[in-house]
Amino acid sequence: MTRRTLHKLILLLWLAVFFMIGYGTWHFQAGELMIIGYVLVSVVIYIVYAFSVRCPACEMPVLLRPVRIFGMEIYLWSLLTPPKCRHCGKPLSEE
């Protein structure tokens, strides 16, 4: 299983858990806060993961995506792992 496939599976699992928590806790008192808490914890976990996963060849973060806007290069974070490094172009995993 490649890293990209694993990320897609984790995203689908996260979405399923989000809907189950939302459906199960919405009618509780402060159930909305449970959903907000779940999203905030997920964002913190994603930030830690995004900074820790790096390309084995060039050591750049894998989830960092360069975008050119008005001649400037701005870096955005992507949710899914690309098949190859966006900085050096080498494949991230053998398929």
For the segment 1-30, what is each residue's pLDDT rounded down to a tens digit?
A: 777 788 888 888 988 888 888 777 777 777
pLDDT of 64 reads 83
Tokens (6 digits) for 91: 């494949």
Query: Distance between CA atoms of 50 and 63, rounded to whole angstroms?
Result: 6
Which segments of the chain does DSSP mark as H helices, in order?
A: 3-25, 31-52
Output the CA–CA distances (angstroms, integers) from residue 59 to 16, 36, 41, 53, 55, in the order listed.
Answer: 33, 33, 26, 9, 5
pLDDT of 56 reads 83
Q: How confident is the model at residue 94 (pLDDT cuts 50, 70, 90)?
A: low
